[in-house]
Structure 1
Amino acid sequence: MRGLKTAPLGMMAAALLALAGGASAQTLLDSYRSARVSDPRYKAVEFNTQAVGTLTDQAFAGFLPSAKFDLERTSTRQKIISSENPIFGAGMTTFPTTNQTLSITQPLFRVDVLRRFEQAKSSVKQAGYVLLAAEQDLMVRTAAAYLLVLAANDAVAFAKAEREAVARALELAQEKLKMGLGTITNLHDATARHALTVAREIEARNKLADAKQGLREITGQPTEQLQTLREDFALTLPEPAEVEPWLQISAEQNLSLQARREGVEIARQEIERQRAGHFPSVNMVVSQNLKDSGSTLYGGGSNVRTTEFGVRLTVPIFEGGLTTAVTKEAALRHQKSQEELEQERRAVERQARAAFDSTVSGTTLVKALGQAVLAQQGALGAKEQGQRSGLFTLLPVLDAQRDLYAAKRDHAQARYEYLLNRLKLAQAAGTLSEQHLSEVSEALQ
């Protein structure tokens, strides 16, 4: 009766622990959303985009009138030394003068202002592409760091299992040697292999700790419990299943490439803006001056208000060759931006091709390594049976154990790389979104 009562309670406790563990697991989407608000690299790009957004307001200010007010107050000390006018004799006086001027300038024709405004719009557009590219980069970096933690977790589990298996073999070798049924060679082999597995487990745990810190560096949150990789999930080929369409899509839609194209356009507009230094400018000028002067030796003071309306034409003639020099510099920088665009285009093509090939080959590689795990399990069982029957020594069994856990690590790593390459392919095509992260999460539990 006691056993019947405690068994359901134990099952309920295990179920509650499983539910609690599942509820507290940090999903890939959770990590990405945390990174959106805390990753310094992404936040820096976000603030830079906001700063660039002010360029249109700065440039548009060149079309609007500007007003300024000048106030000047002077004190004049005047002394008449001699005068041919018999009314004024020699003498001295001191009087103040207040001069107030309000001037308003309205640009009427400014080629440089027009070019700067068009350039500012291109800069804002480029910053938008850079921000979107940074968002996709954040998705890939978060996924890579998340999957790296999972792979490191697997490596620790495999290293621990291998160490425990070798430890059992070492105990068996010690017992057989004491009973006179084993050899010192088997004992040395087991001891050496056990020491190696202990070292590998320590190394795996160190890598796991570092991987967790890498994820925390992006998300700003401590890494506690994450999802785990399902034993079986769908291995699908890219759609379309040929590389050329992906290369074409990447050439047209890749966000980093589009940002570079805008950079070329900005550089071209800079040539026009600097060349505008050769063009005349026309401004309408309105000014009002109020001058209040105190008394002088020649007569009483005065208070004069002057209002002026005018159109000012400024024709640049020669500035020491400055305009020509800065225009040449802009032209050279335009050529530089074109070379950078070509470099980016080639890099994107390589990225898309590598991601496509890795995704396609990854489906085959995962299946092949899965079969290798099964084959290594069979080989280990056969060699253990052979050892018990005296056909094999302990060393082939230890080698089979090592090969089995190596195959398991390779199989797990291939699955993680397959998932990550799917994201990299979408990033190269410029189509990566949270939906792709959701699809990766479906392979986790």
Structure 2
Amino acid sequence: MIHRTVSEWQYLPIEPDGEGAFTRVHADRLIAVAREATLGGEDGAGILTDHHRRLRAQQAVGVIAAPGVTCEILPKIEGLGTGDDETSQTQIRARLIHMLAVAHDLDLATGPLTTLGVQRHSLLELLITRFCEMLTDALRHGMPRRYVGHAEDLPTLRGRLDVQRQFTTLAASPQRLACRFDALSSDIALNRLMKAVVTRLAQVSGSVANQRRLRELAYIYADVAAVPATALRWDEIVLDRTNARWGALRDLARLLLRGDYQTTAHGRAPGFALLFAMNDLFEAYVARMLARALKGSDLHVVAQDRRLFCLSEPDGARRFQVRPDILVRRGTETLLVIDTKWKRIAARIDDPKQGVSQADVYQMMAYGRLYACPQLMLLYPHHGGLHVAGETGRYRVTGCADALTTATIDIAPGEGIAARLLALCAAVAPGRATPGSVAQALQA
């Protein structure tokens, strides 16, 4: 198995044929899988672009695998190295897992993930390891069971008699009784989900230790029906006080099943892709961390608000829905609109506009009018070329009192991103947070 790790926007050289080489055949297999993945687009260029002698990673991070080859794409996170050496890759991988845990509300912060990262495990293998650990621990307390309705023809009555079937289908067989009864069963939707994840991960894991763990788990679930991932009944998964601890496993299973494992049927490329758009991940991460920072105050965060439209027709029909990334609100009043952008903003000395997109400015102006909010912010990840994270520019919107601030946030480990976000918002909209929210943020 050939494995390569590359950072977003970096190139992956295609090597001459040879043992352990990443060849043109391997590159074609990865591109074929990229075309099938949701983020890839029709030509797969949303994940990898083909430059003949090299592939270039785009802004989707995660793992893409094809027969005989896997490619791990890591984000560029300032302060954690370039991603070209094992140490920086381990640090970036751990931070990416932290971002996924926060954004998707997953229990990934515990366990020996940091130690495993040093051992050259990819993001996928780390997530598989954590899933196996969590599932094994949950099963020590017993596999979930529920009473399930059964209908069987038995020699003695069990439960209640199905009168209609008894006197129609079994009319000529009085020695059999049409019984309907409830029986405690492990063949339920939650266990079918866990078996589906175990089966899928066994197909894509390249770790000997993970394969052993998955075989042991598959044996435990041998009596549970095998259901394809596309046919799983999520609506039938019931979590109550008796099985609440399975909530974290359900959420992690949902994340892992986002990967597209294709078979050769219908001409689709065999492979697996567990990928995340960094724009979306950065947005969800910032929204969650800011919500934590404001906990205990009279402010709250609304992510992806979809209530308003730009235009309305004479008949009242609304057109062009807006969807700002983050709103900071007090009650029904919007105090701050934030749009996150996973791109490197330029220093003022290099570009007076700092590389800010004109379309993004127009979009923020529309948000200010629609939400009657004078404080607007475009938020980018920090990088070393800007020297200090925080506010990088403040502008007045022509013709009104609205103000647009451009700013960066350092997402590398440190004193706490929640505190940094709160300080940044307080600088843009001073006097909006209570002392309680500051104390909460400093503990994050």
Query: What band does the TM-score fall into relative to the shorter chain?
Result: under 0.3
Q: Which has the higher strand share?
A: 2
Give TM-score, length-normalised by structure 2: 0.22
**Which of structures 1 and 2 has the bigger CA Rg?**
1
